[in-house]
């Protein structure tokens, strides 16, 4: 079985391995309803977002995209930051025998950023934030992990442990917080234990579909709801 690894950095706006094109879109750009007096809101099943980034995934498996969506809610002194990462796939897509994992880098150094601008307004892709040398090192490392006989979550867990237990590749040293990666989370995108695309039945509460083309399906790969508090 060929195991293809797709990586995404979850702590930055949106990143994939060497994407061909990446763009941060507002909800309005992907066709969300805008109610009078509010900014765009995009509800996907039970998550509400106000900003969405879409990037094509450049790999031998064609037509895949990452969608990273962010929304916020204020409750008293706290802001909750709701984030979702979705895989977009063409209608009728089938991974066949190709294994795929997303590796989420949830703890990276402040060096991972797109230029010096306000992070809210910047856009970019993985190679802008982490250099091509680091992305190549991550890809090479993933290719060397022996995944024979493994699939789905088992294969992805092995990839995760290889990345977590070995020293950070020198090309990536500036982007990790320590000599080993911490906070890497693997998610299977195909095979046993992988999430399924949002079905029509689950979709009844959605008000928008933040992917282009609109005929693509969306699979929730990871989500988080964290507190941002102000003193
Ligand atoms: C889900 O709902 C949105 C909003 O109504 C719609 O645009 C989209 O096509 C739907 N997708 C599916 C798979 O049902
Ligand atoms: C995030 O968590 C808080 C506290 O549990 C909750 O009140 C809020 O509704 C959650 N937001 C979303 C979008 O799930």
For atom 3 of ligand 2, which residue has the closest CA? 80
Q: Coil, helix or strand for 146?
A: coil
* Better-scored residue on pLDDT, 215 or 82: 215
CA 102-54-105 angle, to 5 degrees, is: 30
Domain map (residue ranges) of the chain: 5-229
Contact 19, 58 (CB under 8 A): yes
The encoded tokens of residue 12 equal 């930055």
CA distances (Å), 39 to each of 36, 51, 86, 198, 231, in order? 8, 10, 22, 25, 26
* 209 Cβ closer than 6 Å to some ligand 1 atom: yes
pLDDT value, residue 164:
93
pLDDT value, residue 212:
86
| Protein residues with CB under 6 Å of any ligand 2 atom | 47, 73, 75, 80, 82, 225
pLDDT value, residue 28:
76
In this predicted model, what pLDDT tens digit does every residue of 146-183 receive, in sequence order? 888 888 899 889 989 999 999 999 998 888 888 998 88
225 CA distance to ligand 2 centroid (A)? Answer: 6
The encoded tokens of residue 78 equal 């706290």
- Ligand with the closest atom to the CA of 205: 1
* Better-scored residue on pLDDT, 217 or 113: 217
Q: What are phi and psi of 148, to 5 degrees?
A: -55, 130
For atom 12 of ligand 1, which residue has the closest CA? 200
- Ligand with the closest atom to the CA of 229: 2
pLDDT value, residue 104:
82
DSSP track, 154-178: HHHHHHHHHHHHSBPPGGGGGGSSS
CA 176-177-182 angle, to 5 degrees, is: 80
- Ligand with the closest atom to the CA of 75: 2
74-92 exposure pattern, b = at least 16 Cβ within 10 A, e = fewer: eeeeeeeebbbbbbbbeee
């Amino acid at each position: 079985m060929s195991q293809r690894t797709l990586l995404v950095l979850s702590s930055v706006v949106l990143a994939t391995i060497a994407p061909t094109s990446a763009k941060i879109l507002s909800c309005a750009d992907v066709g969300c309803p805008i109610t009078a007096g509010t900014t765009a809101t995009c509800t996907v099943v039970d998550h509400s977002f106000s900003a969405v980034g879409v990037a094509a995934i450049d790999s031998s498996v064609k037509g895949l995209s990452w969608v990273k969506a962010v929304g916020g809610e204020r409750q008293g002194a706290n802001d909750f930051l709701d984030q979702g990462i979705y895989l977009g796939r063409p209608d009728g897509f089938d991974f066949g025998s190709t294994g795929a994992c997303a590796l989420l880098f949830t703890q990276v150094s402040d060096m991972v950023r797109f230029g010096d601008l306000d992070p809210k307004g910047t856009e970019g892709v993985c190679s802008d934030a982490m250099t091509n040398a680091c992305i190549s090192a991550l890809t090479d490392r993933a290719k060397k992990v022996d995944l024979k006989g493994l699939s789905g979550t088992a294969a992805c867990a092995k990839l995760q442990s290889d990345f977590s237990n070995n020293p950070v590749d020198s090309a990536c040293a500036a982007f990790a917080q320590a000599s080993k990666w911490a906070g890497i989370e693997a998610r299977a995108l195909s095979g046993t234990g992988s999430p399924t695309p949002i079905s029509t039945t689950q979709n009844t509460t959605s008000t928008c579909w933040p992917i282009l083309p609109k005929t693509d399906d969306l699979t929730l790969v990871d989500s988080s709801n964290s507190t941002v508090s102000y003193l």
